């Protein structure tokens, strides 16, 4: 069987989810797997506008992105929806050529725009491949599901999303609650003491702080300063990603603190670091949130992007697996809960165990086989 996995670089989570599916397929099957950025095979100009536009809006004008997200989340005609439809049609030409060359039996997409492009091509008879779309957040959006007639399966994170899809009018046979796929690395066991020692940390309460990588996280530096000024015997591991300037800023702040702080740039050790820590401070991206769930780590949410991350934050806090700090309150209030309230922390861990879906990739593999008829 020829399986084409498509993602997009507009947000790292879509890529990581696609990579987890690829990893499971290659580990357990002899299928021929193709792994491609779906927007790279479209108009280069429109692709750049979509990827760069998303990055710049979420970084510099998050409320504008939130307005676009909300305006397009409707079954009614809207200006944003009409513009999006025109853009997706313009993106089909090169992707159509790629589909002709690969001739996949199944297409798996982890990005709403890529899914829509594939649906359009199927509608026009340009591909006969089965299409599986994998939603990578904790709430549905109109653009994920409006082309459901051309999808063979729609996979989602939660039972609430399933109910929303039913209300939307999608037949049950297309819908499956699988969770969001994560790498098998998050299911492995690690030696916490060994990881602490490797990074020069002590065997005590540890906070893992995701500083935002390439885009940064709004007020993250202010939050970090406040955490450094807190009383209490705990230490921090900071992951700044590929943003070297951001890394330097955090290192400078750390040097002025009495707390033990280690600042990393880009790292492939996130599973080991999550295993090592007692709680995580991060924005609620779909994949980071899922990784915390799978590893049963309390998450303190900061600065969710209006739109999908805001909805993720609502789901996670409503289900008792995360705390959240708001712009008008000190982050220390929530940090103190995670440090001092063992009862609350244990509740969060138990709820993580209750709603996590650690076997998502295997379930998706089973659905791929089922959909292909093999």
Percent of the chain at pLDDT > 70 equals 87
Residues 6+ apart with CB under 8 A from 233: 204, 205
Range of the domain at 50: 2-181+358-372
- What CA–CA distance (Å, rounded) separates 374 from 372? 6
Point out the least confidently predicted range of 214-228, 235-249, 343-357. 214-228
* pLDDT single digits (tens) 56-87: 666 667 777 677 777 777 766 555 556 566 66
- What CA–CA distance (Å, rounded) separates 122 from 223? 47
Same domain, 155 and 225: no
Same domain, 112 and 18: yes
Same domain, 237 and 314: yes
- What CA–CA distance (Å, rounded) separates 360 from 182? 7
* pLDDT single digits (tens) 311-360: 999 999 999 999 999 888 899 999 999 999 999 999 999 999 999 999 99
Same domain, 104 and 29: yes
Same domain, 75 and 156: yes
Same domain, 142 and 247: no
Same domain, 166 and 191: no
Same domain, 118 and 203: no
* pLDDT single digits (tens) 162-190: 999 999 999 999 999 999 999 999 999 99
Same domain, 362 and 351: no
Class of residue 184 by CB neighbours under 10 A (exposed 0-12, middle 13-18, buried 19+): middle
Same domain, 161 and 267: no
Give the full edge-to-edge strand order of the sheet including 206-210. Answer: 261-264, 235-239, 206-210, 279-282, 299-301, 322-324
- What CA–CA distance (Å, rounded) separates 170 from 226? 47
- What is the predicted pLDDT for the residue at 98? 86
* pLDDT single digits (tens) 33-53: 999 988 876 656 666 666 666
Domain containing 362 — which CATH number?
3.40.50.2000
Report pTM.
0.91
Same domain, 8 and 28: yes
Same domain, 351 and 362: no
Number of domains present in the structure of the chain: 2
* pLDDT single digits (tens) 125-170: 999 999 999 999 999 999 899 999 999 999 999 999 999 999 999 9
Q: Please determine, for residue 27, whether its predicted confidence score (pLDDT) is greater than 70.
A: yes
Q: Report residue 244's pLDDT band, with 50, 70 and 90 as the boundaries.
A: confident
């Amino acid at each position: 069987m020829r399986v084409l996995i498509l993602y997009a670089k507009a947000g790292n989570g879509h890529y990581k989810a696609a990579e987890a599916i690829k990893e499971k397929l290659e580990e357990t099957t002899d299928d021929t797997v193709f792994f491609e950025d779906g927007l790279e095979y479209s108009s280069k100009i429109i692709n750049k506008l979509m990827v760069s536009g998303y990055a710049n809006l979420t970084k510099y004008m998050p409320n504008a992105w939130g307005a676009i997200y909300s305006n397009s989340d409707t079954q009614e005609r809207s200006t944003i929806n009409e513009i999006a439809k025109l853009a997706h049609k313009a993106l089909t030409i090169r992707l159509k050529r790629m589909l002709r060359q690969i001739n996949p039996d199944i297409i798996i997409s982890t990005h709403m725009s890529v899914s829509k492009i594939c649906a359009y091509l199927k509608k026009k008879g340009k591909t006969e491949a089965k299409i599986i779309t994998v939603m990578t957040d904790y709430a549905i959006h109109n653009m994920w599901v409006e082309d459901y007639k051309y999808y063979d399966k729609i996979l989602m994170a939660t039972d609430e999303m399933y109910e929303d899809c039913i209300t939307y009018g999608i037949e049950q046979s297309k819908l499956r609650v699988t969770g969001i796929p994560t790498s098998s690395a998050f299911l492995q066991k690690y030696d916490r003491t060994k990881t602490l020692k490797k990074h020069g940390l002590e065997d005590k309460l540890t906070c893992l702080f995701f500083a935002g990588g390439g885009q940064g996280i709004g007020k993250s530096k202010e939050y970090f300063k406040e955490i450094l000024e807190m009383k209490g015997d705990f230490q921090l591991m900071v992951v700044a990603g590929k943003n070297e300037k951001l890394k330097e800023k955090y290192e400078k702040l750390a040097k002025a603190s009495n707390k033990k702080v280690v600042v990393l740039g880009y790292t492939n050790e996130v599973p080991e670091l999550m295993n090592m820590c007692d709680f995580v401070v991060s924005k609620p991206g779909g994949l980071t949130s899922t990784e915390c769930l799978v590893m049963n780590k309390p998450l303190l949410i900061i600065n969710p992007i209006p739109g999908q991350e805001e909805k993720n934050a609502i789901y996670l806090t409503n289900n008792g697996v995360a705390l959240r700090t708001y712009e008008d309150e000190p982050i220390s209030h929530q940090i103190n809960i995670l440090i001092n309230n063992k009862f609350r922390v244990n509740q969060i861990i138990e709820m993580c165990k209750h709603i996590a879906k650690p076997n998502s990739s295997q379930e998706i593999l089973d659905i791929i086989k089922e959909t292909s008829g093999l």
